[in-house]
């Protein structure tokens, strides 16, 4: 099996969200960690109803349940590490994190159809409905590379 088609033995790794020392210093780090944990657990457990609680209404509209199920049908995420929590516009945050995803190559991004990807992403987080939610993605905010 070539390295491009092999999944590393322990990938994707633990689904437990971890914080860097820098991220743990942010005053909202606990709420951000809970939001991320709920978000990734819902993907791993295929729980669209739970995933919806982690994103703003616009993101739900852009990714209805049938599309979400098709997009994440074989995805497993792990090795989730928050590197930084930075201020964003209008009392929002930008969360810089890394994680590993495994999936059927046909379910990976079209430009990188491999079974394992390491992601470096920036997620926008906003205050919404009395809590924190992921906002609509930022352009060019996800950088995947094969494991």
Looking at residues 40-47, what average pLDDT do you find? 98
Cα gap 108→102, rounded to integer Å = 9
Domains of the chain: 18-146 (3.10.450.50)
**Count of alpha carbons within 13 Å of 120, Cβ hemisphere only?**
6
Global pTM value: 0.90
Examine the pLDDT at 28 and tell me if it is beyond 80.
yes
pLDDT in tens, 78-96: 999 999 999 999 889 999 9
Examine the pLDDT at 3 and tell me if it is beyond 50.
no
């Amino acid at each position: 099996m070539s390295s491009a088609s092999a999944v590393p033995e322990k990938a994707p790794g633990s689904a437990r969200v971890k914080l860097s020392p820098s991220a743990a210093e942010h005053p909202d780090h606990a709420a951000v960690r809970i939001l991320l944990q709920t978000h990734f657990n819902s993907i791993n457990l295929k729980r669209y109803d739970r995933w919806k609680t982690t994103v703003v209404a616009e993101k739900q509209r852009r990714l209805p349940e049938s599309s979400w199920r098709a997009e994440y049908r074989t995805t497993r995420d792990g090795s989730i590490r928050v590197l930084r929590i930075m201020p964003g516009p209008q009392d929002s945050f930008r969360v810089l994190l890394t994680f590993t995803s495994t999936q059927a190559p046909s379910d990976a991004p079209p430009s990188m159809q491999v079974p394992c990807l390491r992601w470096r992403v920036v997620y926008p987080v906003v205050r919404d409905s009395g809590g924190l939610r992921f906002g609509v993605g930022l352009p060019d905010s996800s950088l995947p590379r094969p494991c």
